[in-house]
Amino acid sequence: MLKIFHAPLRGQNGSPAVYSLLEYAFKKEYGESLPDIVKTANGKPFFPDRPEVHFSLSHAKTHVLCALSDCPVGADIESPRLISERAIQYFCSPNELTLFDPLDLWVLKESYIKLIGGTLALVKTIHFSCESGNIITPDKSSISKLYRIGECRAAVSVKGNLMPESVELAQQ
């Protein structure tokens, strides 16, 4: 099971809004109140009392994103913006730039880093490719998908083989 939810910020601060979205998603999928959340040494949040439930959270200037799954998952969302040439040269390989837009590549890499519980220091060392329209992840044992949510770019990476075609708008 993998469910992906999004909601517009509507003037709210991103961090509280994304936890409200997680609470909504958890209640909708499991019919329960949100369990306690703790973080790993690298900052990845998890439910210690519900280790079978995995989630990933992200917020941009205009939207929040939550992925809820029964297997490890990472998610990222970004508002449209220009990325400096210096940053592009830092985190994109020349081959990746022939296959992906820099902002799409950024959300892919950040979602994958969240999936594996790493830090942004990995952004330069992980590489994506594309074959026959399918995104090929660095370890080839996970899958990643790009989404458009309004003007935002989003990506979800998961250790599994199921990826929803769309992202559900939360009716909070």
Residue 106, classified by CB atoms within 10 Å of its CB into exposed (0-12), middle (13-18) or buried (19+), is buried
104, 105, 19: which is closest to 58 by C-alpha? 19
Rg (CA), the chain: 15
pLDDT at 163: 80
Per-residue pLDDT tens for 51-93?
999 999 999 999 999 999 999 999 999 999 999 999 999 999 9
pLDDT(161) > 80: no
Which structural domains are found in the chain, ordered by start? 2-169 (3.90.470.20)
Q: Which helix (H) or strand (E) holds 112?
A: helix 102-116
Q: Name the strand (E) or helix (H) holding 131.
A: strand 129-131
Lowest mean pLDDT among 97-106, 119-128, 161-170: 161-170
